[in-house]
Amino acid sequence: MQRELKITRGQTLTVIVRSRDTEYFSGKAVAISSVNQKGPFDILPKHIHFISLIQNGLTIHKLDGSTQEIIFSNAVLRVKDDVVEIYISMSK
Long-range contacts, stretch 21-30, CB < 8 angstroms, 24+ apart: 21/90, 24/70, 24/88, 25/60, 25/68, 25/70, 27/62, 28/62, 28/63, 29/60, 29/61, 29/62, 29/63, 29/84, 30/5, 30/61, 30/62, 30/63
Residue 51 domain flag: yes
pLDDT at 1: 45
Q: Residue 66 belongs to a domain with what CATH number? A: 2.60.15.10
| Domain residue limits at 25 | 13-88
pTM for the whole structure: 0.86
Q: What is the pLDDT of residues 17-65, one digit of tens each?
A: 999 999 999 999 999 999 999 999 999 999 999 999 999 999 999 999 9
Residue 76 domain flag: yes
Residue 4 domain flag: no
What total number of domains does the chain contain?
A: 1
Residue 46 domain flag: yes
